[in-house]
Amino acid sequence: MGAHRMIFARRVWKFLVAIKDGLVLLLLLLFFGVLYAALTMRPSPGEVHDGALLLSLRGSVVEEPARVDPLAFLTSGDEAPDKQYRARDLVRALDAAASDARIKAVVFDLSDFKGGGLVHMTEIGAAVDRVRAAKKPVLTYGVTYDDDALMLAAHASEAWINPLGGAYILGPGGQTQYFGALLEKLKVTVHVFKVGTYKDFVEPYIRDAMSDPSREARKAVLDALFGAWRADVAKARPKADYNRAITDPAGWIAAAGGDGAVAAQRAGLVDKIGDRTQFGERVIQLVGKDTASEAPGAFAHTNLKAWLAANAPSTAGKKIGVITIAGEIVDGKAGPGTAGGDRIAALLDGTDTAGLAALVVRVDSPGGSVMASERIRTSLARIKARGIPVAVSMANVAASGGYWVATPGARIFAEPGTVTGSIGIFALVPTFERTLADYGVKSDGVRTTPLSGQPDLLGGLTPEVEAAGQAMIEAGYRRFIGLVASSRGKTPAQIDAIAQGRVWDGGTARQLGLVDQFGSLADALGWAAQQAKLAPGQWHAVYLGEDQNPYGSLLEKLTGGDDDSSAPSEADVFAHLAARRQAALGEALASASRLIGTRGAQAYCLGCPPAAVAPPPSKELKGWLTMMNGLLGA
């Protein structure tokens, strides 16, 4: 009897295990089904509605959005990354809205806007002008308006500000942290190998203040950029008193009783004061109410994602390729958003370039690794050797390594607000022999050659290594100016006179011959088409390596950022300024980390302005703070 019970119990157990396994399998199938649906979901053109085109910018405008791995994000415990919007997508959306009868107005929600580069803001502002020229109103709403938001507001027909909001004009520039005295206190020896009077990337590690050449070059560039900003907003909104906000911000605010919104309105920087509901009611007067929502101030609209899906670019005619080099140029396969040399070279050497009629190199980079820059340049040179016309289009920054990769271009386009040049290279090697000696640690040994055991970060560098390192950097510089001279039809001596690591604004660079003409990416594409003997309508642009991010939809849904139509959180002026200071802290810590993290010869521009607000300090940088505290005995 007992045996029968045991057999029955085993059968029941097996049955229960089978049910469990079946349920697990079913749940796995459901999970992967949902995952597949999330990954493949695309906006439907059917989501386009008569009303406004709503551009709710909850992040920064960039040349190439960075790709985020959702698995790494979920396991990191970090907050959701800020969204990034491709500048040319916004321009394309605005141009499509100008000619589409379904769009009655364009609305920018700038409540959580993090800014973008001067060139991108200029391009978007020009697109806004084209919408207004089509007799369609463009409205902006925000709580805090800074330089980039004010630039967009200047081009709008109506700019609204929250009653608790304010505006301020920072202008480009700021302070750089110099670690020379700290490193000397810690007895860290920083070995610098560089060429170029103005190549100031190394200065924060060997000085306690900016050098006169660095100050001269940086001031000239920043004055030019700020001049371009002021000219743009003054032309778009000639009656506004931007000068008062720039020269006497405290008096300007005090004259309005400390009310930032009133001060902005009195100066003409914005037109109306009202909260989100009041703003929405105004838009309803222009485009109608959102019949699917009962929320106050909800207006009929189409969001950016659906609008872009309904207005896909043409694919008629031959292909003109566009390769994007955005962000720091690094060794390896990093990116998009970072210009991994191996990744970009593989795209250029791949089969996708076989049928191209021409190629445009879009650069928005302060440079980086010399080896990665050269890897990209040689791939571009191979395409050029095949008889394919190659043009270069510079965005906000195309400096140092960003100019190195531009040398194969037969024609270089830039904007007045572009920062370029910085032709020079350097290398940094920190050693800790003096630090360790204070703790009784010294180095000794036997060498068979002067290079044995070198470079020795703990025992120091030999004089032979110092001399060899400088000689190699000087040879790299000669190669750099030789490439530029060959590209620009000048002698190396002529290039050396305007190189030396100095940065230039786009206007001066054009006068010096580093740039051929002012123009946008569209202008560069048009020139490339002409070189390929293609008339309008006989070609279309193909952006190499910009396949749809398979994780984008999933990440947006996981972070709740897939619907730009909902109202973003609103922060006051102080919160906005605090975010900027946090970003500045992150950049300062990143600068400190580069001393140890930088590998190999670098062609990098320190004085180039960032394209957008930097992210807050990462866990890696927090680790750097811990290390510094340890060194200081804190």
Report the distance separating Cα 190 and Cα 206, nearest Å. 7
Catalytic annotation, pick one of 136, 194, 199, 319: 199
Report the distance separating Cα 563 and Cα 538, nearest Å. 36
Active site includes 618? no
Q: Kind and range of the H or E element at 569? A: none
The candidate with the shortest Cα–Cα distance to 399, out of 363, 369, 359, 370, is: 363
Report the distance separating Cα 129 and Cα 148, nearest Å. 16
Report the distance separating Cα 368 and Cα 399, nearest Å. 9
Cα dihedral 555/559/565/569 (nearest 10): -150
One DSSP character per residue, 257-280 reads TT-HHHHHHHTTS-SEE--HHHHH
Extract the tokens encoding 65: 């959005």
Q: Are 346 and 311 in contact (CB under 8 A)?
A: no
Number of helices (H), then strands (E), in the chain: 24, 23
The torsion angles phi and psi of 199, rounded to 5 degrees, stand at -80, 85
Extract the tokens encoding 284: 């309803």
Exposure letters 317-329 (e unless 16+ CB within 10 A, then b)? eebbbbbbbbbbb
User: CA torsion sign, 178 to 179 to 185 to 189?
Assistant: negative
Residue 254 gets which letter from DSSP? H
Chain centroid to CA 255: how far? 37
Extract the tokens encoding 626: 């811990």
Catalytic annotation, pick one of 369, 400, 422, 520: 400
Active site includes 199? yes
Which residue, chain included where needed, has tokens 């020269």? 247
* All residues at 6 or more sequence positions from 308 whose CB lies less than 8 Å from its CB, including other chains: 43, 89, 92, 93
Which residues are known to be catalytic?
A: 199, 400
